[in-house]
Amino acid sequence: MPRHLKLKSPLLLLAAALLGPSRASAATPAELLDGYVAAARAPADARRGQAFFTQRHGAEWSCASCHHALPTGAGQHASTGKEIGALAPAFNPRRFSEPAKVEKWFRRNCKDVLNRECSAGEKADVLAWLMTLKP
């Protein structure tokens, strides 16, 4: 999609992110959330997102293994020890601002935690919860 076209529809924004390297303009967490909700065809649930984030799903790790149960500060990769910046958007404005990067990390991390990719509904729930975390 040409850079000069602005994506107004959250669903189009999500589609651009899912179709590969995005040339779309920067997104906001709210726009990404709207796209995931539209793709899931169900409302996001922040409580369900928090539970998903902190629980193990049959694999060795949970999201909280690296990002901590309250991801408002720096985390640390469980196996490499590499520092990971705060995940909650209010504590790290660069988070959830580039659709292609968001999809890349959801894909990698969900495979580590779930042994599969996350559904649009799971992404919506987690992002909805992360957006409730405020300084």
Whole-number pLDDT of residue 4 = 41
Distance of CA 70 to the CA centre of its chain: 15
Q: What are 3-35's pLDDT values in tens digits?
A: 444 444 555 545 544 444 444 568 999 999 999
Q: Is residue 1 part of a domain?
A: no
**Per-chain mean pLDDT for the chain:** 85
Q: Is residue 4 part of a domain?
A: no
Whole-number pLDDT of residue 132 = 97
Inter-residue contact 118 to 110 (CB < 8 Å): yes
Whole-number pLDDT of residue 3 = 40
Q: Is residue 2 part of a domain?
A: no
Q: Is residue 108 part of a domain?
A: yes
C-alpha 22/C-alpha 99 separation (Å) is: 7
Q: What is the mean pLDDT of residues 65-84?
A: 90
C-alpha 71/C-alpha 112 separation (Å) is: 18
Q: How many C-beta atoms lie closer than 10 Å to residue 12's C-beta?
A: 16
CATH code assigned at 52: 1.10.760.10
| Residue ranges making up the domain that contains 108 | 10-132
Percent of the chain at pLDDT > 70 equals: 81
Whole-number pLDDT of residue 22 = 43
Q: What are 29-64's pLDDT values in tens digits?
A: 999 999 999 999 999 999 999 999 999 988 788 999
Q: Is residue 72 part of a domain?
A: yes
* pLDDT at position 96 over 90: yes
Q: Is residue 25 part of a domain?
A: yes
Overall number of domains in the chain: 1
Q: Is residue 37 part of a domain?
A: yes
How many residues does this entry show for the chain? 135
Q: Is residue 17 part of a domain?
A: yes
C-alpha 6/C-alpha 104 separation (Å) is: 22
Inter-residue contact 89 to 95 (CB < 8 Å): yes
* Whole-model pTM over 0.85: no
* pLDDT at position 94 over 60: yes
Position 30: which residue type? A
